[in-house]
Amino acid sequence: MDGESQITFRKECSGDVIVSAAPEGLFIVSGFLTIGVPRAAALQYVLQWNESPNAGFFEDHGKVVLSHGSAKASFEPSEGMQIRDLIARVYGPI
């Protein structure tokens, strides 16, 4: 992956979180956990930002949460915006 399609967040408690936008979809990797979100779903989640806590990105108590299937990942607001921008840049236009 090149720098245009991947971002890394440094987390003290859990180590690095790597978010990659591959042709088949978005992958969020943290330690032993990987969340895969198909490309079409990732685009839909950006378009429907903050519409549902059951699917996609939503804001909750000062965090941005990604909910996909049974997985949930929590990010700082700036990290959530970086993920949104990554999806738009790689998969756009939105």
The pLDDT tens digits of the residues spanning 4-37 come to 899 999 887 778 999 999 999 999 999 888 999 9
Residue 64 domain flag: yes
**What is residue 83's predicted lDDT score, i.e. its pLDDT?**
95
> Quick one: pLDDT band at residue 2, thresholds 50, 70, 90?
low
Cis, peptide link before residue 93, omega less than 30° from 0:
yes
Residue 42 domain boundaries: 6-91
Entry pTM = 0.89
Q: How many domains does the chain have?
A: 1
Strands, sheet with 33-38, edge to edge from the N-terminal-most edge strand: 6-11, 15-22, 25-30, 33-38
The pLDDT tens digits of the residues spanning 26-79 come to 999 998 889 999 999 999 999 999 999 999 999 999 999 999 999 999 999 999
Residue 35 domain flag: yes
Using left for φ > 0, alpha for ψ between -120 and 50, and beta otherwise, residue 44 falls in alpha
| Residue 73 contacts residue 30 (beta carbons within 8 Å) | yes
